[in-house]
Structure 1
Amino acid sequence: MSAVQWLGDEAFSALGQRVIWSDMIGNSVGLLALALGWRRSIWSWPIQLLSGVILVAAYASAHLSGGIGKQLLVIGVSLWGWRQWQRGRRDAQDGSIAVRFATWRERGALLAGTALGTLAVGGLFTAVPDLSWNPWPDAYIFVGTLAAMVCQARGLTEFWFAWLLVDVVGVPLAFSSGLAFSGLVYVVYFVVVVWGMRDWWLRSRALTSAAERAALGGALS
């Protein structure tokens, strides 16, 4: 048996639902990536990339080309985010990843891009049923995940709000689709998101306050 075939096998059953190895391992690794993102660790990106590779193997074993395509996009964004954080660490005096609130212009662009992306992907999934079993919720989660990753790559605190909105749909969809482990992981995601949001929010507020004090000092001098 190949590793790809093994990833598609059942790991165990719980509450009458089948949990496959790829679902369990891929989502566990993804949860670790999110926790590392909270700590602003650059390892968040290679771990997220690994999660995508595992899920590509899983979808390949099940012959789900739509799932493969989605994970390849996630891998691509992970590579870009990894490069962005490497550049951010080089530019920072203390070698850490700086976080901030998005500007209103950035928020507007993010909301518009996410809405248009969801309409486009949802329309594609509807037109090609083989790509998704639940076209619109799946499109919402997929585009929302990409939006969250883009915000994370740019060090925007809104990254956590995007994940929170993904969780609202992701938890019930996972359980209704028979992916019990994914549903449970999304519940844990919610807890990590709340704590990560608090940490990044406080750091962003401190940075904003420091910038305002510096600007005021410059105006008075």
Structure 2
Amino acid sequence: MNTFSWLNGEAFTAFGQHIKWSDMIGNVIGLIALALGWRRSIWTWPAQFLSGAILFTAFAAGHLSGSAGKQVVVMLVAAWGWMQWDRGRQQTQDGTLAVRFATWTERALLVGAAALGTVAVALLFTAYPSLSWDPWPDAYIFVGTVVAMYAQSRGMVEFWFAWLLVDLVGVPLNFANGYAFSGFVYVIYGALVLWGMRDWWLRSRANTAPALEGATA
């Protein structure tokens, strides 16, 4: 049995759902990546890359081309985000990433890109049914993931909001497509996202405080 076959074999059954090794391992690493992102550790990016690679095998084996394609984008953005964070750390005194709220212009661009991207990808999935069984929610998650990871790579607190919106659709979609472990993990993602959002929110206020004090001095 080769590695691909083993990864996509059944690990166990829980609550009537068949859990695949690739689905379980990929999502556990994804949880670790999210926790590392919360701590602003640069290792969040290689963890996200590895998670994407393993989940790609899971979705490819299930002939879910759209979801598999999303993992390819996740890996590309993870590689780019790794470089962005490495560059950002070199510009701070303590070597950690500075986080901030996006400007209103950046928020408008993120929302606009998410909306237009979702429509474009959904129309592509609709035109080629073999790419996705659920074109609109799959497109929403596909584009939302890319937008969230981009915001994360720029150190924007809004990245957590984007992840939360992705989770709201990702949970029922994964259960419906038979990826139960992904569905369970998305629920845990939701809790981590709320904690991470609070941490980054407080850190962003701490980062702006010195600037405000200097402006009023």
TM-score class, shorter? over 0.9
The one-letter code matched in structure 1 to 2:198 is: R
What residue is the counterpart of 2:184 in the other structure?
Answer: 184
User: What is the aligned-residue identity percentage?
Assistant: 65
Which ranges in structure 2 are unaligned for 5 or more consecutive residues?
none
Aligned residues: 217
Q: Partners of 1:26 and 1:94 in 2: how far apart?
A: 32
Which ranges in structure 1 are unaligned for 5 or more consecutive residues?
none
The CA deviation at 1:174 is 1.6
Q: Partners of 2:64 and 2:161 in 1: how far apart?
A: 30
Q: Partners of 1:168 and 1:64 in 2: how far apart?
A: 20
Q: Is the 8 A contact 2:67 2:142 kept in 1?
A: no
Q: Partners of 2:216 and 2:38 in 1: how far apart?
A: 31
SS of the equivalent of 1:13 reads strand
Moved over 6 A (4+): none
TM-score (norm 2): 0.96
The CA deviation at 1:65 is 3.8
The CA deviation at 1:62 is 3.9
Q: Partners of 1:66 and 1:194 in 2: how far apart?
A: 28
Moved more, 69-78 or 110-119: 69-78
Q: Is the 8 A contact 1:5 1:61 kept in 2?
A: no
Moved more, 96-105 or 164-173: 164-173
Q: Within 5 Å, which residues of 2 pair with 1:110-129?
A: 110-129=110-129
Q: Partners of 2:203 and 2:66 in 1: how far apart?
A: 38
The one-letter code matched in structure 1 to 2:107 is: R
Q: Partners of 1:108 and 1:204 in 2: how far apart?
A: 20
What residue is the counterpart of 2:50 in the other structure?
Answer: 50
The 3 A distance-change label for structure 1 pair 64 and 174 is: closer
SS of the equivalent of 2:41 reads coil
TM-score (norm 1): 0.94
SS of the equivalent of 1:12 reads strand
The CA deviation at 1:208 is 2.0
Root-mean-square deviation (Å): 1.2
Q: Partners of 1:64 and 1:177 in 2: how far apart?
A: 9
